[in-house]
Amino acid sequence: MKLNISYCPPNITIWDIWVDHGTSQCFMDTVTTSVITCFILIAGTLQLCMYRKYGTEVSPAHLPTSKLYYLQLFLTIFLPILEVTRFALQATILNDKTIYGYMILSLVMTVVAYPFSIWVIKVERHYQLPSLPPRGHGIVLLVFWSLTFIAENLAFLNLGQQNWWFHLSDQIEMALFVLRYVTCLLIFFLGLKAPGIMQNIDYFSLNDAQRNFARPMN
């Protein structure tokens, strides 16, 4: 492994956006991971503060039990594991076995963003706000998952770029991309389904039970 003190590969800077019929991987990884991570950290923190101030805890008896919820958590953890694996392979096997600054940034951002999103998922599952009945996850998580899926799709802009890995010889990078793409797609659809969130019918049942419990005995 060679640790290069430069942020981008030789002859490329962070400001070189379009290079050789495609976007620079240095620019692409920097922008996408920075935007996604900053969004979930800032917006997610504001949402957590709102839940801490106004949220009420949902009884465990009213929480939906779904294997899809645990699949959702597993896939969210699986993405940072994929990034760590990719980083290790870049340092030992792939390309010129050189680590650049943008790779370290991408790794750190990914390892921070997705575990933080799990925290937001669990808070939305275990607490409810005094507002309309929940119909799924909040806007913060939905935008976060949309951004991650869009970021993976942006890679298709570089089908004709030689420095990317859309070639049969780059089997390892292609396999990692396919795993990331499928994982992001599943997380996106699971996020829309929200298997761990109490749905409308459960919400009204919970309120009816509370009202019946509070009604005085004749």
Domain carrying residue 62: 23-156+167-214
Bridge partners for 18 per DSSP: 23
Residues in contact with 194: Cβ distance below 8 Å, sequence separation at least 6, in sequence order: 135, 136, 137
> Residue 161: what pLDDT?
59
pLDDT of residue 2: 59
- Whether 14 is in a domain gets the answer no
- The sign of the dihedral angle between the CA atoms of 43, 49, 55, 59 is positive
Q: Is position 145 within any domain?
A: yes
The answer to the question of residue 17 being in a domain is no
Give strand pairing partners of 99. Answer: 3
Low pLDDT (below 50) residues in the chain:
168, 201, 203-204, 206-218
CA geometry: angle at 26 spanning 25 and 32, to 5°?
80
Has residue 110 been placed in a domain? yes
* Structural domain includes residue 3: no
Q: Please check whether residue 83 lies inside any domain of the structure.
A: yes
The number of domains in the chain is: 1
Among 19, 81, 147, 109, which residue's Cα sits nearest to residue 8?
19
Which class for 206: exposed (0-12), middle (13-18), buried (19 or more C-beta within 10 A)?
middle
Check residue 120 and give its pLDDT: 96
pLDDT at 73: 96
- pLDDT at position 160: 61
Q: How confident is the model over 67-121, as pLDDT tens digits?
A: 999 999 999 999 999 999 999 988 888 777 788 889 999 999 999 999 999 999 9
Per-residue pLDDT at 143: 97
Whether the predicted model's global pTM rises above the 0.85 cut: no
Residue 161 lies in a domain: no
What is the chain's Cα-based Rg? 21
| Count of Cβ atoms closer than 10 Å to residue 13 Cβ | 14
The size of the chain, in residues, is 218
Residue 10 lies in a domain: no
